[in-house]
Structure 1
Amino acid sequence: MFFKQSDVSSETVGKGVTRRILGYDSEIMMVQVDFEKGSIGDPHRHPHRQTSYVVSGIFEVTIGEETQRLKAGDSFFVEPDHLHGVVCLEKGTLIDVFNPSREDFL
């Protein structure tokens, strides 16, 4: 399947946070998440494996008890059911990949 940006709308999922699903099937999903400076991806957990790539911006990423500052080109991985969240320090974009797909996003 092909997912063209012009055909896929974004949705607001929090104050200063929008999400656009870039591709998926039942096993894998890729999502673009855009953040305004100061916006927060609240700490949460889910049963999916997640890996995320920082396309742009600067983020404070917390996984469990550890927090690190990540910038464009950096990435992180979250095991299933681990508490994690982000704070956007400089306007930016993350690409999140989930296994299996996040049915709650559809």
Structure 2
Amino acid sequence: MPMYRWADLEEVPLNPLITGRVVEVPNAMLARIKAPKGPINMHKHDFDQITHILAGKMRWEIDGEEPRVVGPGDVLLMPAGVVHGGEVLEDAEYLDVFAPGRQDFSWYKQKIAQK
């Protein structure tokens, strides 16, 4: 069974706004992400997402609820199909669990296998 240390995984751009490290099993993905201060467009996707804030502050709006400011120790639950977004108020680091894994991050798994 594979085991990884975050520090041993290469931190790479995951999209134009964020960098991170990713591990994946067939039905889920865990990403450790760093996001700079700035907006997060409202969006939705076809996978469930659980976000655990490790550092920084973010303002999140989930499916028309009142926006809330979240920080270290807070956990956000976003079921598939629910619109969410907001703003990174202070540079942030967080863990994202995606089930099933995000197809647009799956290329990272190939980088791990090559090491």
TM value normalised by structure 1: 0.86
- Does 1:51 pair with 2:58? no
- Flag the 1:72–1:96 CA change in 2: closer, same or farther, 3 A: same
The separation in 1 between residues aligned to 2:103 and 2:76, in whole angstroms, is: 22
Shift of 1:41: 2.7
Shift of 1:80: 0.6
| Residue identity in the other structure for 2:10 | S
Tell me how large the CA RMSD over aligned residues is: 1.5
Residues 29-86 of structure 1 deviation map (CA, whole Å, 9 limit, x = unaligned): 100110122x233221111111100001000011111211001111100011111113
Q: The residue matched to 2:104 in structure 1 has which SS?
A: helix
Shift of 1:93: 0.6
In structure 1, list runs of 5 or more residues that go unmatched.
none
| Residue identity in the other structure for 1:10 | E
Q: Give matches, 1:1-106, under 5 Å.
A: 1-12=2-13, 13-15=15-17, 17-21=18-22, 23-37=23-37, 39-66=38-65, 67-106=67-106
Q: Percent identity?
A: 23
Shift of 1:8: 2.2
TM value normalised by structure 2: 0.80
Q: Which of the pair is proportionally richer in helix? A: 2
Counting matched residue pairs gives: 103
In structure 2, list runs of 5 or more residues that go unmatched.
107-115
Query: Which deviates the most, 78-87 or 52-61?
Result: 78-87
Q: Based on CA coordinates, which of the two structures has the bigger radius of gyration?
A: 2
Residues 9-32 of structure 1 deviation map (CA, whole Å, 9 limit, x = unaligned): 2222224x21221x2111111001
Q: Which of the pair is proportionally richer in strand? A: 1
